[in-house]
Amino acid sequence: MHRHGYQGRKLHRERDQREALIKGLADSLVKHGSIETTLPKAKEVVPYVEKLITKAKKGDLHNRRQVISGLQTLASAHKLVDEIAPKLASRVSGHLRVERTRLRRGDNAQLARVSFVDNLNEAPVAKAAKPATVKPTAKPAAKTPAKKEAK
């Protein structure tokens, strides 16, 4: 038996449980900005969220719906598209980082923190366009004295 060509980690779960786990981790990452989990789970969630961020940066209706289907809650999907993605517009890829933190007491599992590379609190949010004010196009004509004196 060999595992040639098989990608991804099974994380000791069935497929639907694994997908739900990844969705939940991605949802928590968007909601809180960083999460601490085991290293294999962290390495699995990073490419998943990177793809969601790329879709959120495009921001059209189809990509917004794909982001909604990729996260557990509607509120976190809208937060990703409307608040987080505009702050990450300057970066093409590599939006997340994985840092090893500590060994978990009990089973000695390596824990890791997944967080955004850019500080989302300091980055400016793209502001909505202001409504255009109507400026008068024609200037009022200067009053000229009437030439009644000529007659």
For 2, 16, 28, 144, 148, the CA distances from 54, given in Å and listed in that order, are 34, 24, 18, 63, 74
pTM equals: 0.78
Mean pLDDT of 9-31: 97
Q: What is the pLDDT of residue 120?
A: 82
- In this predicted structure, the answer to whether residue 43 has a pLDDT above a threshold of 70 is yes
- In this predicted structure, the answer to whether residue 136 has a pLDDT above a threshold of 80 is no
Domain 15-116 has CATH 3.40.50.10420: no
- Tell me which of 45-49, 73-77, 141-145, 147-151 is least confident: 147-151
**pLDDT tens track for 83-135:** 999 999 999 999 999 999 999 999 999 999 999 999 888 755 555 555 656 56
**pLDDT tens track for 48-85:** 999 999 999 999 999 999 999 999 999 999 999 999 99
Q: Where are the domains of the chain?
A: 15-116
Q: Whose CA is closest to 93, among 116, 124, 120, 60? A: 116
